[in-house]
Structure formats: structure tokens, C-alpha cells
Amino acid sequence: MTKEISKAPEISTLGELKKSGYTSRSIKDEIRSNLIERIRSGQPAFEGVWGYENTVIPQLEQALLSRHHINLLGLRGQAKTRLARLMVGLLDEWMPELAGSEIHDDPLKPISRYARDLIAAEGDKTEIAWVHRSERFYEKLATPDVTVADLIGDVDPIKAANLKLSYADDRVVHFGMIPRANRCIFTINELPDLQSRIQVALFNILEEGDVQIRGFKVRLPLDLQFVFTANPEDYTNRGSIVTPLKDRIGSQILTHYPEDIPTARKITEQEAALDTHQLSGIRIPEVARNLLEQISFEARNSEYVDSKSGVSARTSITALENLVSTAERRMLRNGDTETTVRLTDFLGVIPAITGKIELVYEGEQEGADSVAQLLIEDAVKTVFADHFPEIKKLEHKDAESPYDGIVQWFFEGDGLELDDDLADGAYRDALDSVRPLEDLLREYQPDVDPADRYFMKEVILWGLVNYQKLSKKRFSEGYRFGDLYGSYIRGL
């Protein structure tokens, strides 16, 4: 829920601002002061970011207390840009500036020629404007086509013509994004993609505040909080951060992916775009939510996926949206008003997976769809092992197993077919027909919610397939589960 914006102060002139007792301070001191208040009061400085409580956020707070420019280094989908945007909450709600200033001039410490001339002409009657903190965040994606003129500025021929000034006059300068972000937070995403000569142009801005434009040495002591983001992969594949620039960035903080399933679930459930109708009409079993997150964990350790590229948290977010939509489509086709997610619905998350992972050569040979299905099956295998007795790779042929009843049922029967769009009643009847499934659940998972029992039955079937106790075949409209050898023996 967004916080309401309070009314801007009624101070409208420089004289009124002086009488109010307002004192100027740098943006870094402003952030530091507000952060100190947050820490003392026990309020979170970066709300809605999960998994960084004991790693990234303490380092980030230390860097801000140290008044450092910051570089957030990590793989894609690790909330780097979100952290930068959340820093806006550490700014004062309203900031005064000279009305009409292109670079947010501080009324008490003007730095532009426009501001100084205006105050000299109007004195305490100089008009003041107020800027809300939500407007004090500037962001630029570093791409190879970014120029010095974009970031720093350039001579503006049209301005020179309109003002009838020569190019030797500094009033013909058109300011770039960085001067216009004076007294604001300025974020450059994917910094290594910025050409080296452009990175060099940032040296003096970070350290001394000198801006040189086409031979003009315009002394502008800019007041900015820089936040850079970078991906380690970029250092080898596309570019690098030049050493002098790295030296001028006070703190480099390493981000990471969620370290456990509960944290990953918090992120996914917070970010997934699901409306109230979907949330009220479609039940998602707890095991299904864990299974969904496990897919990303399996991908990050898969031999088919490029680990240097990373597996973004957006993989799980879009996969959850696809999973719910798959169940919703089935529900609509059957004319129902509510349903529960099934394991067969996970076929619908494959497009979300294939669009988010980078494959190595072996993965390309397998094919993106095949790798996605393997990741789902590996995730099922992990979840199955967390809930049911271990199946050893090497077992004595006469050794008893908790799964013997299920295997025997399939050996003696004709198997089980689960269509993708099977109505809920027919779906439950089909799984109930395999009586040993209920016996196994009652013994090893007696506390499972009744509404989730059918999903758990599917987990058992898929798990036994992954451990080569049963077979699973995909046909055009669903899956068929059967025994490994019984049908062949009966055929003989």
C-alpha cells in the first residue's frame, strides 16, 4: 500500500525560507540522518526486500552511513534496482529549490549562473518551489549508444540563437541527465555496458564536481548520491568498469539469490500479478508453492543451465502466474467457479522457464522445452524425498518397500490416465481409484490438508516415475502412468 503524500510547505519565497530556519545539507547527510532515525526506531529502511536482512541490507546501511557512492554487484533478478529505488524513502519528503532552475538549485547555496543571477535581481522575493522525494530519483540504463552529451551535457545551438549568444558563453550549455539530477539519487544500471570513455567522464563528477562540456570548464559542485548496478557476467562478455571509476565508488556490495524456499516464496507471492478473482477461485496447495520455487533452485544447479548468467527471481514469479492461469483456463473450460492447482498444470509453466534461463551447449542440444521438463521432474524428485520414505538406488530384489502396493496396483491394472482438462470430480475419482495412494498418504502424511491430498497423490506418482518404479508417458491431452514391465510381460 502506497503512503499518502502530505501537502507541500506553504513557503514560497527565499525570504520566507530563511525565516523558517531551514538549513541546507547534502543529499548524503540527508540520507544518513533519516537512516539513523529508521535504525533507532526499529523501522525497516528497505521494506519488501526479503532474504537480505543479514547480508546485503546491513552492508548497504553501512555504506549510506559512510556517505559512499554504491555499486550493487550481482546476477540478474537479485533486486539491485529495487534497492536503489527504495533509497528514495530515506530522503526528506519535500525539498526546496529555486523555481525555474534546471538543476534543482538549493535556494541557500545556488550553483548555476541562472540561480545566482535570479537571486541577485530579486533577493528575498525570489520564488521557491518544492520537490517531492518521489521526483528525486533518476535512472539511466547503460547502453553502448549513451553519449557524454546525454549524461553531462552539450552546447545547444538553438539556445544560442534564441538568446543571441556566442558559443563562448556558458549560458548556451544544455545540461545532461546528471546535472539535472543535482540533489537527487542517480542510478546507472548495467554500468559495465557503458563505454570506457563515458565512464571516464564520470571521474571528476564523483570526486571533485568539475563538469567540462566542449571546452567549457563549468564549475558545478553537484550534490548527488550515485548508485550503480552491475552484473558479474558483463565483466567478461560485454565490458568492464574501468579501474579509476571503481576506485571512486566507495562501497561495492554483492547481492545473491534467496537461500531457502520460504524466502523465495515470500518474494514470488509479493511480486506475482494475480487478481482477487484468481486468488479466491484457485487454491494453490502449499506443496505446489514449494515445488514451484524448487524449480529455480534446481535450475541454478543444473548442468544444462549457464550458472554465470543466473536464474532470475522473475522465473518463479512468471511461473506462478502461468501456473494459476493454466488452472484458471481449465476451470473455465469445465464451467466451474473454483478449482485446485494440479501437478499436471505445471506443464503450463514451461514457457515461463524457457524464456528466463540461458543454456550451455549441452542444454542447447537437449532443447529448451526438454530442459524445462527435466527441471520440473528434478524439483518433484526433491519434494517427494522431503515428504516420503527414501528410495535407494540399489535395493535387494526381495526387499519390502512402502511403495510395493502402488507398484503392484499398476502391474495388475491397465494404468492411469490424467487428462489436462479433466473436470475436478473425474480427476479425484481417477486418483481415488488407486487405493494404495491413500494408504501411503495416511501413513506418512496424515496431517495434509484434505484439499491438498490429491496434489500429494500426483507427487507420489511423479516421484515413483523419477525413481524408475513407474512409467509416465505424455499424450496429446494428458499423462498416462503405468508399470515399467507388466504390460510387456502380459503381452508375452
Tens digit of each residue's pLDDT (9 = 90 or more) over 42-100: 999 999 999 999 999 999 999 999 999 999 999 989 999 999 999 999 999 999 999 99
What distance in Å separates the CA atoms of residue 153 and residue 109, rounded to the nearest whole number?
22
- What pLDDT, on the 0 to 100 scale, is given for residue 487? 54
* Whether residue 258 has pLDDT greater than 70: yes
Mean pLDDT for the stretch of residues 476-487: 82
- What pLDDT, on the 0 to 100 scale, is given for residue 399? 65
Mean pLDDT for the stretch of residues 466-485: 89
- What pLDDT, on the 0 to 100 scale, is given for residue 236? 47
What distance in Å separates the CA atoms of residue 95 and residue 88, rounded to the nearest whole number?
12
C-alpha cell, 180: 539535472
What distance in Å separates the CA atoms of residue 418 and residue 426, rounded to the nearest whole number?
9
Give this prediction's pTM: 0.86
**Cell numbers 536482512: residue:** 53
The one-letter amino acid at 417:
E
- Provide CATH 3.40.50.300 ranges for the chain: 14-254
Q: Regarding the domain delimited by 14-254, which CATH topology (the fold level of the hierarchy) does it fall under?
A: Rossmann fold (3.40.50)
Least trusted range by pLDDT, from 141-155, 432-446, 450-464? 141-155
Task: Give the confidence band of 464 by pLDDT, cuts at 50, 70, 90.
Answer: very high
Q: Going by DSSP bridges, is the β-strand pair 128-132/94-98 parallel, antiparallel, or unpaired?
A: antiparallel
**266-320: per-residue pLDDT in tens?**
999 999 988 888 888 999 999 999 999 999 999 999 999 998 888 999 999 999 9
> What 8-state DSSP symbol labels residue 74?
-
- What pLDDT, on the 0 to 100 scale, is given for residue 13? 94
Yes or no: say if 242 and 200 are a contact pair by the CB < 8 Å rule.
Answer: yes
